Each structure stands twice: as structure tokens, then as C-alpha cells.
């Protein structure tokens, strides 16, 4: 059956890495006789330039009418001085909200061949295999008020951290569902010693845990979690946490793999469509140079095939191809190691294609 995919390349390196990932998708389509119907749409700074808004209604419609969405990245210094509602990141926040993508899943596995590129010692990171489940549509990124105001007559600003119980419950449940299929441990990360939202988060996590007797639940304070992630990352299996903590911890976790350029993510809703994207940003410092690492986006396509289309075999083939390419020593600059072959974005894509 035909699968409709909305493709949103975005800004900076977005178009380059998405073009690479689309080549891989087309290779899979041809080899396995699938039919992917691709519709491109604008999001981010490029959309603001064209239409005055970072998320045009047409893009929302295209996404809602698709079976899955692939996104590159948005943002860049060019748009930094725009008013908030025209800024690229607003496009990203809005599409998550429009599609109710409440759970962001970020797997972090350490590739053996990349262990040397990590700033951490090899024995600490070898064998790391964890997943950060980040709440994506609530918390301080969405709470109102969020504004500059006078506080006791003096200039200041306010942001609001708020959660409805239901928002906590559904994302924690997602984490338990994932843990059920793995080594069966959930670490719920919060700041319950200080924040009321965290105390409620902790209570709800414990309630959800009662429904999953096979899965161990542990609570951890976020500052400790940040430390444990670099001290002993192998203790973690599934980490579930609120929006901002998850944003920070998952970037920290990405270092374990050697590079931001390696990590894929999926964002899930109750009924789909799901959105897939690399976890890195638009890397304006290297945009347009054909040197960005396309593997995170290629691995996002692999996640899409597995989660949205149940194409487990095809997903695994892409992952193995990536692994083989790394084992053969091909590297973009961000993961370069001694005695490796430096390749461009397009050359890396070609190597993955050959392996497939």
C-alpha cells in the first residue's frame, strides 16, 4: 500500500541531510517495491522568508494528511532578531502541538567503531544502549504566562512550568511500554525536592508503574541524572522526563555516541502521524558546505520505516548499512578519528547506499 510522507527540510544543513536521507528512502523503495508518495513543505526560517510565518497552514495540512513526517532542522542567525512569532523554533513548537506529538523518543546507542571519538573513556561508554523519552508538548516551553514584566516594580521576566496530570501519565506510560520490550527498567527523572510539578510527576509515575509489574521504576533527581549519565551511563535503560530536562539530558547523552550527528529521534502522538528528525539543529556554521553528517537523518528514516510502517527488515538493513560504513572507516568531519577516510555528506550517503 502507498505510504504518504511529508518532508520538511527546513534551514541550514536541513536540506542537505534530508536530500541524503531521501536517497536512502528511494533506494529502499526500489529494492523492496514499496510506494512512497512524497510531499515537500516549508517550515522554519525559510517558511518565514516565503510566507511571513514559520509554519504555514499549508504545511500543517500536508502533515496531517500524511502517514509520517520527516524533518531536517530549523533556525539560524539570520532569523534571530525577528519577533517571537516569526522565529523558526516557533514552527517546530507549533507542529508538535498541532499534531499532539507528546512523546519524543531518543535512542542512544554507542557504535563500537565510534567509541574512540567520544570524549568519554571507552570502557564507560562501550555497550551503552539507552532511550530518553522526553515529554514534548507541555512544561515550561508552553506554559503561560511567558513574558517580560515588572516584578515588584523592577524589570524582569516570567516563564511558567505547568503540567496536567494526564499529560504526565500518557508519556510515562509510553516509557513503560518501551521498557517492557527491553531490559525492563524505567528511570523517571524530576526535581521533586524543589518543584511541585515534579512531586506530582513522581506520584503519577509510581501509579503507572503498578500496571507494569515486570518493569522496575526508579526515581532520580535531574542534577544527579546529569552526573550519572557521564559517570555510569550503562545503568540506564529507559529515561522518562519532562520537556526541558529531557531536552538537556538527551543532548548530554548524545555525546556518549560520539556525535550529535549520529542521533535520530521520533515524536509520537496517540494516533499518528509520527514525526522523525535528527536531534541536532541546523548547524549554520557548516551549512551549504556538503560536510554535515547525514547519518542521524538516515537513521530517522529507519525509525520511520520501523515505527510508522512496520518495515522491520528494511529498518534493520539501513542500520546495518550505517554500521558497516562506520566499520569500514568512512567518516564525516564531526566523527573523524585517526586512520579513517574523511567523506562529504553526499559521499557518506553513497557509501550507505552501496551497503544497502
Catalytic positions, please? 141, 191, 223, 247, 251
CB 115 within 8 A of CB 257: no
Q: Which does 247 bind (CB under 5 to 8 A by kind): ligand NAI, Mg ion, none?
A: Mg ion
CB 340 within 8 A of CB 329: yes
Binding residues among 70-129 for ligand NAI as defined by CB under 6 A: 73-76, 89, 92
For the chain, first and last CA: distance in Å? Answer: 22
CB of 205 or CB of 295, closer to ligand NAI: 295
Asked if residue 286 binds ligand NAI (CB under 6 A), the reply is yes
- As measured in angstroms, the least distance from the Cβ of 159 to ligand NAI is 17
Residues 6 or more apart whose CB falls under 8 angstroms from that of 164 comprise 138
CA 139 – CA 182 distance, rounded (Å): 28
Q: Which does 282 bind (CB under 5 to 8 A by kind): ligand NAI, Mg ion, none?
A: ligand NAI
**Annotated binding residue at 29?**
no
- Residue 65: Cβ-neighbour burial (10 angstroms; 0-12, 13-18, 19+): exposed
Among 186, 283, 298, 317, the residue binding ligand NAI under the rule CB under 6 A is 283
Asked if residue 347 binds ligand NAI (CB under 6 A), the reply is no
Kindly report the number of other CB atoms within 10 A of residue 334's CB atom.
18
The residue behind cell 500524511 is 66
18's grid cell: 534530508
Stretch in the footprint of Mg ion (CB under 5 A) among 65-73, 224-232, 246-254, 319-327: 246-254
Binding residues among 237-276 for ligand NAI as defined by CB under 6 A: 260-261
- As measured in angstroms, the least distance from the Cβ of 280 to ligand NAI is 3
φ/ψ of 94, rounded to 5, equals -70, -40
DSSP H or E stretch at residue 289? none
Among 255, 292, 315, 321, the residue binding ligand NAI under the rule CB under 6 A is 292
Asked if residue 346 binds ligand NAI (CB under 6 A), the reply is no
φ/ψ of 210, rounded to 5, equals -60, -25
- As measured in angstroms, the least distance from the Cβ of 296 to Mg ion is 13
CA 98 – CA 144 distance, rounded (Å): 17
- What residues make contact with Mg ion under the rule CB under 5 A? 247
- What residues make contact with ligand NAI under the rule CB under 6 A? 13, 17, 73-76, 89, 92, 260-261, 277, 280-286, 292-293, 296, 332, 334
Query: Would you list which residues are annotated within the binding site?
Result: 76-89, 96, 106, 134, 223, 247, 251, 281-293
Amino acid at each position: 500500500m502507498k505510504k504518504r510522507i511529508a518532508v520538511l527540510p527546513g534551514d541550514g544543513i536541513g536540506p542537505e541531510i534530508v536530500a541524503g536521507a531521501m536517497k536512502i528512502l528511494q533506494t529502499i523503495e526500489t529494492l523492496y517495491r514499496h510506494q512512497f508518495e512524497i510531499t515537500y513543505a516549508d517550515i522554519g526560517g525559510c517558511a518565514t522568508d516565503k510566507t511571513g510565518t514559520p509554519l504555514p497552514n499549508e504545511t500543517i495540512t500536508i502533515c496531517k494528511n500524511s502517514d509520517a513526517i520527516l524533518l531536517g532542522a530549523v533556525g539560524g542567525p539570520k532569523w534571530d532578531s525577528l519577533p517571537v512569532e516569526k522565529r523558526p523554533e516557533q514552527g517546530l513548537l507549533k507542529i508538535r502541538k498541532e499534531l499532539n506529538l507528546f512523546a519524543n523518543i531518543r535512542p542512544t546507542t554507542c557504535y563500537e567503531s565510534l567509541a574512540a571519538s567520544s570524549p568519554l573513556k571507552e570502557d564507560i561508554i562501550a555497550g551503552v544502549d539507552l532511550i530518553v523519552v522526553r515529554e514534548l508538548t507541555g512544561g515550561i516551553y508552553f506554559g503561560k504566562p511567558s513574558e517580560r514584566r515588572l516584578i515588584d516594580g523592577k524589570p524582569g521576566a516570567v516563564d511558567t512550568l505547568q503540567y496536567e496530570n494526564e499529560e504526565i501519565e500518557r508519556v510515562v506510560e509510553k516509557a513503560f511500554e518501551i521498557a517492557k520490550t527491553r531490559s525492563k527498567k524505567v528511570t523517571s527523572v524530576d526535581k521533586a525536592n524543589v518543584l511541585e510539578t515534579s512531586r506530582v510527576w513522581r506520584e503519577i509515575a509510581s501509579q503507572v508503574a503498578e500496571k507494569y509489574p515486570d518493569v522496575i521504576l526508579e526515581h532520580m533527581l535531574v542534577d544527579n541524572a546529569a552526573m550519572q549519565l557521564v559517570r555510569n551511563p550503562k545503568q540506564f535503560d529507559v529515561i522518562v522526563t519532562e520537556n526541558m530536562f529531557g531536552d538537556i539530558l538527551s543532548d548530554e547523552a548524545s555525546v556518549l555516541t560520539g556525535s550529535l550527528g549520529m542521533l535520530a529521534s521520533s515524536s509520537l502522538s496517540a494516533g499518528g502521524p509520527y514525526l522523525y528528525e535528527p536531534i541536532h539543529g541546523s548547524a549554520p556554521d557548516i551549512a551549504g558546505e556538503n560536510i554535515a553528517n547525514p547519518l542521524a537523518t538516515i537513521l530517522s528514516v529507519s525509525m520511520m520505516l520501523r515505527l510508522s510502517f512496520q518495515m522491520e527488515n528494511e529498518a534493520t538493513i539501513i542500520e546495518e548499512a550505517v554500521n558497516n560504513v562506520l566499520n569500514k572507516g568512512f567518516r564525516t568531519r564531526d566523527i573523524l578519528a585517526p586512520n579513517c577516510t574523511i567523506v562529504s555528506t553526499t559521499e557518506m550517503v553513497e557509501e550507505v547506499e552501496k551497503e544497502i
